[in-house]
Chain A
Amino acid sequence: AQSVTQLGSHVSVSEGALVLLRCNYSSSVPPYLFWYVQYPNQGLQLLLKYTSAATLVKGINGFEAEFKKSETSFHLTKPSAHMSDAAEYFCAVSDTRNAGGTSYGKLTFGQGTILTVHP
């Protein structure tokens, strides 16, 4: 069974400061890992994904995440926060595979982290 824990339901940073959103996962097979962002009153947008290639993944809007198998973590970072980064962020894991070994896409989400950016 797969699960995701996001540490901190609310994170507040100043504009220009480092953004660090924490995600730990549990998976019985090598996982695929994702970060999604949801801006107020909007749908989900994929920020980045890890699918067993490079462990440091770069995404849109200057975000990146590093897969650390030993720590079962996939934390999201951005060196310098912008006001426009204020949103809710979701970490998700997929480890469901069909008989052929390929993913068929069920995502298990963390509870979400609301990022607030102060001027």
Chain B
Amino acid sequence: EAQVTQNPRYLITVTGKKLTVTCSQNMNHEYMSWYRQDPGLGLRQIYYSMNVEVTDKGDVPEGYKVSRKEKRNFPLILESPSPNQTSLYFCASTSVGADTQYFGPGTRLTVL
């Protein structure tokens, strides 16, 4: 089954404790991205990757890091989480030239 998976689905952590949210897709998509969803703001892109070892900032990259060492994986790293990073996070993937993105199920992060 074609899908984008994220782990964990729910995470409660404390300020400053490094964490990683994993994202994996099984569709051989070149393009992957991370979004955060906040009430009244919709979804905003954090980082994206055009292919392996090619990443770039989206609209709200501060406080986040990403890596793309393998085509299927695109982890989101919070080196020192802060409460303003409490949000719902979505990973998405698509093929270059395709018009539809596939979204993961979301990760709800709470930073205390």
Contact = CB atoms under 8 A, between A and B. Distances in A.
Contacts of B25: none
Interface residues of B, number: 25
A43 B99 contact: no
Q: Which 9 A-B pairs have the closest CB atoms?
A: A109-B42, A102-B97, A105-B94, A109-B43, A111-B42, A43-B105, A44-B103, A51-B99, A105-B31
25 contacts: A6-B42, A42-B105, A43-B90, A43-B105, A44-B90, A46-B100, A49-B99, A49-B100, A92-B43, A94-B99, A100-B97, A102-B97, A103-B97, A104-B31, A104-B97, A105-B31, A105-B92, A105-B101, A106-B45, A107-B35, A107-B43, A109-B35, A109-B42, A109-B43, A111-B41
B96 interface: yes
